[in-house]
Structure 1
Amino acid sequence: MRRIVGPILLSTVLLLSGCATDRRSDSLAHTMIAYANTVRWDGFEMAEAFVDPKVREAHPITELDRAHFKQVQVNDYDDGNGPVPAGENEVRQTVSIGLTNLHTQAVRTIVDHQVWRYDPDKNKWWLETGIPNLNQ
Structure 2
Amino acid sequence: MFRRWGVKILLTCLGIAALLLAGCSTVEKDKRANALQAATNGYQAALRWGYYDTALAFLDPQTPPPTINFKGLRLTGYDVMQSLRMPDKATALQTVSIEYLYEDRQVVKQLTDQQRWRWDAAHHAWFLQSGLPKFETR
Runs of 4+ in 1 over 4 A off after TM superposition: none
On the 8 A contact 1:71/1:102 being kept in 2, the answer is yes
Q: 2:40 aligns with which of 27, 32, 36?
A: 32
Root mean square deviation, CA, Å = 1.6
Q: 1:61 aligns with which of 66, 74, 79?
A: 66
Alpha-carbon separation, structure 1, partners of 2:101 and 2:50: 15
**Alignment TM-score, normalising by the size of structure 1:** 0.87
Match of 2:3 in 1: none
Max radius of gyration: which structure? Answer: 2
1:23 matched to 2:31:
yes
Alpha-carbon separation, structure 2, partners of 1:114 and 1:90: 10
Runs of 5+ in structure 2 lacking a partner?
A: 1-8
Match of 1:126 in 2: 127
Give the deviation of 1:3 after TM superposition. Answer: 2.9
Runs of 5+ in structure 1 lacking a partner?
A: none
**Alignment TM-score, normalising by the size of structure 2:** 0.86
Match of 2:76 in 1: 75
Pair 1:100–1:133, CA change in 2 (3 A): same
Give the deviation of 1:61 after TM superposition. Answer: 2.7
Q: Which amino acid aligns with 2:48?
A: R
The structure with the greater share of residues assigned to helix is: 1
Alpha-carbon separation, structure 2, partners of 1:134 and 1:12: 48
Higher relative contact order (CA 8 A, sep 6+): 1
Q: Which amino acid aligns with 2:131?
A: G
Pair 1:135–1:100, CA change in 2 (3 A): closer
- Work out the number of aligned pairs and report it: 129
Match of 2:4 in 1: none
Q: Which amino acid aligns with 2:21?
A: V
Alpha-carbon separation, structure 2, partners of 1:123 and 1:61: 23
Please state whether the residue corresponding to 1:86 is helix, strand or coil: strand
Q: What's the % identity of the aligned pairs?
A: 27
